[in-house]
Amino acid sequence: MKLKDFKLASKNDIAKARKFPDGKKGGRLGGGILRGSPGGVHKLLAYKIIQETFGPPNTDFVGEKSNWEWILKTDKGLLSIYDYKGWWSIGYVGTDRNIKKELIEYASMLKDAILEEANKFKITKKQIKDNKIGGIITNPYSLFFNTAEHLLDEAQRIITDIRNYNKDKKGSDLFTEELNKSLIVGALFRSAFVASYLGFEGFINVIYNIFLDSRYRNDIFENKLKKEMIPIKLLEIDKYCNGFTGPVILVEDELFKAFQYLTNIRNDFVHANIVKDMESHLVIDKQYPIFAEEKTGKKYGISYHPAIISNLDVIRTRKLIEKIVIKIINTLDKRIKMDFAIVHTHARIFYIYNKKGQIFFPLEPDDYRCIEEIEEKLDLSPELDDEYYNGDEEEYIPPGCKILY
Beta bridge pairs of residue 87: 84
Amino acid at residue number 159: I
Chain segment 141-165, per-residue pLDDT in tens: 999 999 999 999 999 999 888 877 7
Give the per-residue pLDDT at 132. 77
Nearest to 29 by CA among 58, 64, 61: 61
Chain segment 297-310, per-residue pLDDT in tens: 789 999 888 888 89
Chain segment 95-116, per-residue pLDDT in tens: 887 888 889 999 999 999 999 9
Percent of the chain residues topping a pLDDT of 90: 51
Mode of pairing for the β-strands spanning 359-360 and 288-293: unpaired
Strands, DSSP E only, in 60-194? 69-74, 77-84, 87-93, 134-138
Chain segment 212-262, per-residue pLDDT in tens: 998 998 889 989 998 999 999 999 999 999 999 999 999 999 999 999 999
pLDDT category at 170 given cuts 50, 70, 90 is low
CA 348 to CA 233: how far, in whole Å? Answer: 22
Q: Are 88 and 37 in contact (CB under 8 A)?
A: yes
Give the per-residue pLDDT at 404. 54
Surface-to-core class of residue 110, CB atoms within 10 Å of its CB (0-12 exposed, 13-18 middle, 19+ buried): buried
- pLDDT average, residue stretch 313-331: 96
Average pLDDT, the chain: 87
* Phi and psi angles of residue 355, each rounded to the nearest 5 degrees, phi first: -65, -25
Q: Are 9 and 72 in contact (CB under 8 A)?
A: yes
CA 111 to CA 126: how far, in whole Å? Answer: 28
Task: Report whether pLDDT(405) > 60.
Answer: no
Give the per-residue pLDDT at 194. 95
